Amino acid sequence: MERIRSTLLGLGLTLALATPVISVWIAENAVHIWQRPVPRVSAAELTASETDSRWESVQVSASDGVRLDGWLMTPNVANRCAVLLLHGVGDTRLGMLGHARYLLQAGFTVLLPDARGHGASGGAIISYGLREADDVKRWVDLLVRRDPGVRVYGLGESMGAAILIQSLPEEHRFRAIVAECPFSTFEDVASYRLQRASGLPVALVWPVMQMGMQYVRLRYGFDLRHASPLAAIRAASVPTLLIHGTKDINIPPVESERIHAARPDLTRLWEVPGAVHVSAIAADPDRYRRTVIQWFRTH
């Protein structure tokens, strides 16, 4: 019995000592994108050529001075509607070129930025919507400044979807948005991912996660507990189409279901059978394109 008690005590002490180190490691990897490939302009040239469009490099400055970089693509036969396309964590604007192609072919101008901390955009730290929501406003400013009569829409995937939703309480110029596979709160999806990766019960995962977020707050000055599309949709007025694959194990469908349940009057939820994370367009490409374009054209 004494040996068992001693072993358990030693294990508990080891966990207590290891938890801060693990929390800091997880937190640093959550807010940094260590590998940041810069998209090559040849991808923009090819997309423009394939869609009878023209393209240009555009930049805006964020409220904290970070320089954000993107591509603006305009079809030669345009409909004076523009779609802001936001990629997911660890990706770049290249990940949204598939969406850009069918939208350009339908007459929509598209704006594809690299999120802060990604690709060619500046910023060393990402905040999952806390700072990026205002970055969205800067991009919409650019679109409206270039064409005051433009109808502005948005489409985001994963983190990009969460950022887009979090911009809505302040950014009212969107006519409608599409959010594929967003998380409902950073806290919720972080807990889910830690449990899934570690196989540990929530009682052990929770303190690690909370300590990590406390570290981010003290070190970098923002509280990831406030990264919440769920809270944002309650204060929004922009029609939102939520798309989520039923086989998504990266961000499970329940995340979109929670957002939809919070504002069923404002949102529509399309759960795509068999689709994994941000792959609904691959599961049902024709229906996906038709649904997105119709959603924009009817708002």
Q: What is the pLDDT of residue 13?
A: 35
Q: What is the pLDDT of residue 244?
A: 98
CATH code for position 286: 3.40.50.1820
Indicate the residue type of 147. Answer: D
pLDDT digit string, tens, across residues 85-109: 999 999 999 999 999 999 999 999 9
Overall domain count for the chain: 1
Q: Are strands 240-245 and 174-180 parallel, antiparallel or unpaired?
A: parallel
Q: How far is CA 242 from CA 57, 93, 133, 220, in A?
A: 30, 21, 18, 31
Q: Is residue 292 part of a domain?
A: yes
Q: What is the pLDDT of residue 7?
A: 37
Q: Is residue 213 part of a domain?
A: no
Q: Where are the alpha helices (DSSP H) in the chain?
A: 2-31, 41-50, 97-105, 132-146, 159-167, 186-198, 202-220, 229-234, 254-262, 280-283, 285-297
- 163/93 Cα distance (integer angstroms): 15
Q: What is the DSSP string of 200-248?
A: --HHHHHHHHHHHHHHHHHHHS--GGG--HHHHHHT--S-EEEEEETT-
- 74/104 Cα distance (integer angstroms): 7
Q: Is residue 66 part of a domain?
A: yes
Q: Is residue 261 part of a domain?
A: yes
The arithmetic mean of pLDDT across residues 53-66, rounded, is 98
pLDDT digit string, tens, across residues 159-176: 999 999 999 999 999 999
The arithmetic mean of pLDDT across residues 112-128, rounded, is 97
The four Cα atoms 218, 222, 224, 226 give a dihedral, to 10 degrees, of 130
Q: Is residue 26 part of a domain?
A: no
- 172/190 Cα distance (integer angstroms): 29
Q: Are 192 and 252 in contact (CB under 8 A)?
A: yes
Q: What is the pTM of this model?
A: 0.93
Straight-line distance from the first to the last Cα atom of the chain, in angstroms, rounded to the nearest whole number:
70
Q: Is residue 232 part of a domain?
A: yes
Among the listed residues 232, 37, 267, the one whose alpha carbon sits nearest the alpha carbon of residue 134: 232
Q: Is residue 40 part of a domain?
A: yes
Among the listed residues 258, 271, 270, 190, the one whose alpha carbon sits nearest the alpha carbon of residue 230: 258
Q: Are 31 and 127 in contact (CB under 8 A)?
A: yes
pLDDT band (50, 70, 90) for residue 117: very high
Domain that holds residue 66: 35-185+228-297
Q: Is residue 98 part of a domain?
A: yes
Q: Are 110 and 116 in contact (CB under 8 A)?
A: no
What average pLDDT is seen over the chain?
A: 93
